[in-house]
Structure 1
Amino acid sequence: MAQWSSKLFEYTWLETAAGRYSGFVALANASLRQTADALALPLGDAQRQTLTEQYRKLDVWPDVGPALERLRSAGFRLALLSNLSDDYLLANMSRNGLNGLLAPPLSTDRVRRFKPATEAYGMGEAAFGAQRSEIGFAAFAGWDAVGARWFGYPTCWVNRAGQQAETLGGDIPLATRDMTCVIQLASL
């Protein structure tokens, strides 16, 4: 799983750097195929599709719903900005009961550039009609936190896995293993 995920991100970065865009699902399939081949694991098309479809069935962490409800009640507008496709994002929002808390998702499908491309992060400004300095960004991955910070978003890193901080880009001042940093970011 870790190798597949790593290869998937490599492919998104490669396509963005090369000015190409196949979309998340195509790259998830290609990266899974490459990973299975590299590990000499037999994996048919049906098995690969079943595994790729799991991105449509992601569970949120238990503290996400209450944190989003708190932010929404405080008047914050919220949206997902993700490399996942629109249909996967909508399926996950519905599955996790987040539809009433979040605005329509901002999929990189809209700009045909994966994060950390500035076009991807720029979707937040366009969607909310706000300056980047007025938009808080919560990242799951260290590289995404750095990219959002470089773009100019006040950023926090929800470092669930306790990963080592990125050395390129400097420290992310707000980083916790739960949604605490998101609440702190909203309080700034």
Structure 2
Amino acid sequence: MKTILPIFRKMIVFALLLTILCGGLYTLSVTGIAQVLFPHTANGSIIEIDGKKYGSALLAQQFTEDKYLWGRIMNVDTATFTDESGQPLSYGTPSNLAVTSEEYEQLISERVQKILAAHPDQAGKPIPVDLVTCSGSGLDPEISVAAAKYQIERIANQRHITSQEVEAIIDRYTTSRFLGIFGEPVVNVLKVNLALDGILK
């Protein structure tokens, strides 16, 4: 028993030390560095204009009107939470549907029909895959350049502006490959739609 107690004390001290170092000092230092070096990103990349917050550039929002750029399919839940007035709060959730499931196949089929009906000018052209599929997170804020440009004519017609104006906005909020070699260029849906509304310049 006498030999076990010193070992037990050392274990407790070691556990407390690790808790302080890893759970306290490390967390505080990483948070502090992030706030100093890139505070906007560290605080969620919130798009705030004239004191009004429109959302995070890192999280998708659902746009369904024809005058907006559509993002990927979102798994939206409106039944779980409500606000103070009792109105449903919608939020996206990850998708756990297998690509071979009937539910997923039905979801894709419905989306394809919606895309085809909304874009008669693109008849006969293949639909970019990210317009009819959801990401694993269900909260992907970006789409491919091809998916964005597929929608140009619809948006231009709905807003009574030229397709060149819509394309210029899409180009403005297109992010290139990381370090020029990793990934593919992508378009931020929220930023494009805020720019289309004249909110984001």
Tell me the TM-score range normalised by the shorter chain. under 0.3
- Give the TM-score of the pair, scaled to structure 2: 0.24
- Give the TM-score of the pair, scaled to structure 1: 0.25
Which has the larger strand fraction?
2
Which has the larger helix fraction?
1
